[in-house]
Amino acid sequence: MKFDPLLKKCPLCDSASISLKYNIIQSHNFNVYECQSCLFIFMNPAFSDTFIASLYSDDYYSGKAGFSYIDERENHKFNSYVWKARIKKIHKYKKSGTFLDIGCSFGGLLSSAQKYYDVYGVEISDFASRYCKSIDLKVHNGTLNDAPFKENSFDVITMIELIEHIKDPVNFIKKTASILKPGGLCVIQTADMGAYQAVSQAHNYHYYLPGHLSYFSACNLSSLLTKSGFANIRIYRPVDFGLIPKLRKSRGQFKNLKDYKRWLTIAKYHFLGYFKKKGRPMTSSMVIYAFKK
Ligand SMILES: [Zn+2]
């Protein structure tokens, strides 16, 4: 079956006042619903787990599928500017200890995190996790639910553009909280669907993708974290580091001098993240830091 049964309640707050928001027409069409109570947006009916697994075949990771991940290994040097900048920020809060990246793909962030931490990964793709193992990273090939981690075992858990892929975010965040040590840091990057960019672009917003099941706002994600035992929640916009690492990363895709013009677009997008329009943050990019109580 391609789809799960249609949900009658919000998977985030259990409210029954949910309604169809958009019909997304793409390579695989789907509907998203919105909860009137907490404004959570979710694919409904959701694609079944077997169908989702077929989206993340080896072709997805090797760039051969129609809807593909960009293979970060090809641009490791350039991508690592961003990974190092993020680790530098995390290091301000946690000096050492155990570090878990959920959805670690080819282990780029983990490679940078090794400077300070004992690192672990979770990766659903067999293809990407095999690569991680080949470079001696400790990676569980599967999901967080079937990973063998004990309670209170991590100082830092990161999930970079991962939570939007999760079907049951309530239990996922509960599980994350349980394996973090008290005082441990959780770092989440996803789009803020309450921001002006997402609201104004409506169904054309690029975050609506067949692999994305859960669409949060800064508000409902913060409230999920609070309910799950987190405190001291900080929201960084557009991201948790400055513009320079992004510019250095982008050079990995440049082919000639003219491509440097793209720096203007990147810089503009970055700075818009600091401003509001009609009471909403202008861009949807956000990174949340939350500490387990
Ligand atoms: Zn809700």
pLDDT at 77: 86
pLDDT at 89: 98
pLDDT at 69: 61
Q: How many angstroms is it from 221 CA to the middle of ligand 1?
A: 11
pLDDT at 67: 54
In tens, the pLDDT along 71-88 reads 667 778 888 999 999 999
Q: How many angstroms is it from 182 CA to the middle of ligand 1?
A: 28
Q: How many angstroms is it from 51 CA to the middle of ligand 1?
A: 25
Mean pLDDT (whole number) for 93-118: 97
Q: How many angstroms is it from 54 CA to the middle of ligand 1?
A: 29
Q: Which of 69, 29, 67, 24 is nearest to 47 (CA)?
A: 29
Q: How many angstroms is it from 211 CA to the middle of ligand 1?
A: 21
Task: Inform me whether the pLDDT recorded for 68 exceeds 60.
Answer: no
Phi, psi torsion values for 68, nearest 5 degrees? -125, 155
Do the Cβ atoms of 198 and 192 come closer than 8 Å? yes
Phi, psi torsion values for 87, nearest 5 degrees? -65, -35
Q: How many angstroms is it from 264 CA to the middle of ligand 1?
A: 38
How many Cβ atoms sit within 10 Å of the Cβ of residue 185? 22
pLDDT at 54: 84
Q: How many angstroms is it from 178 CA to the middle of ligand 1?
A: 23
pLDDT at 76: 84
Average pLDDT, the chain: 94
Helical ranges in 126-242 per DSSP H:
126-134, 169-179, 196-201, 218-227
Q: How many angstroms is it from 290 CA to the middle of ligand 1?
A: 21
Helical ranges in the chain per DSSP H:
49-55, 58-61, 76-93, 108-113, 126-134, 169-179, 196-201, 218-227, 243-250, 262-272
Q: How many angstroms is it from 42 CA to the middle of ligand 1?
A: 10
Task: Inform me whether the pLDDT recorded for 108 exceeds 70.
Answer: yes
Q: Which residue has the higher pLDDT, 75 or 255?
A: 255
| Residue 287: CA count within 13 A, CB half-sphere | 17
In tens, the pLDDT along 145-163 reads 999 999 999 999 999 999 9
Mean pLDDT (whole number) for 264-279: 92
Q: How many angstroms is it from 204 CA to the middle of ligand 1?
A: 23
Question: What CA–CA distances, in Å, run from 132 to 107, 123, 129, 135, 265?
Answer: 6, 9, 5, 5, 33
Q: How many angstroms is it from 145 CA to the middle of ligand 1?
A: 23
How many Cβ atoms sit within 10 Å of the Cβ of residue 68? 12
Mean pLDDT (whole number) for 280-289: 96
- The pLDDT-based confidence of 131 (bands split at 50, 70, 90) is very high
Distance CA 104, CA 136 (A): 14
Task: Inform me whether the pLDDT recorded for 267 exceeds 70.
Answer: yes
Q: How many angstroms is it from 34 CA to the middle of ligand 1?
A: 8
Task: Inform me whether the pLDDT recorded for 55 exceeds 90.
Answer: no
Mean pLDDT (whole number) for 130-153: 96
Task: Inform me whether the pLDDT recorded for 70 exceeds 90.
Answer: no
Q: How many angstroms is it from 55 CA to the middle of ligand 1?
A: 27
Q: How many angstroms is it from 10 CA to the middle of ligand 1?
A: 5
- The pLDDT-based confidence of 234 (bands split at 50, 70, 90) is very high
Interstrand relation of 30-35 and 18-24 (parallel, antiparallel or unpaired): antiparallel
Task: Inform me whether the pLDDT recorded for 92 exceeds 70.
Answer: yes
In tens, the pLDDT along 8-41 reads 999 999 999 999 999 999 989 999 999 999 999 9
Please enumerate in sequence order all residues whose Cβ is within 8 A of that of 240, keeping only pairs 6 or more positions apart, or say none. 86, 89, 187, 287, 289
Q: How many angstroms is it from 9 CA to the middle of ligand 1?
A: 8
pLDDT at 65: 56
Q: How many angstroms is it from 41 CA to the middle of ligand 1?
A: 8
Q: How many angstroms is it from 39 CA to the middle of ligand 1?
A: 6
Q: How many angstroms is it from 36 CA to the middle of ligand 1?
A: 7
Burial of 85 (0-12, 13-18, 19+ CB in 10 A): buried
Lowest-confidence pick of 65-69, 95-99, 220-224: 65-69
Q: How many angstroms is it from 175 CA to the middle of ligand 1?
A: 20
pLDDT at 63: 62
DSSP 47: B
pLDDT at 180: 98
Q: Element (H or E) spanning 183, and its range?
A: strand 180-191
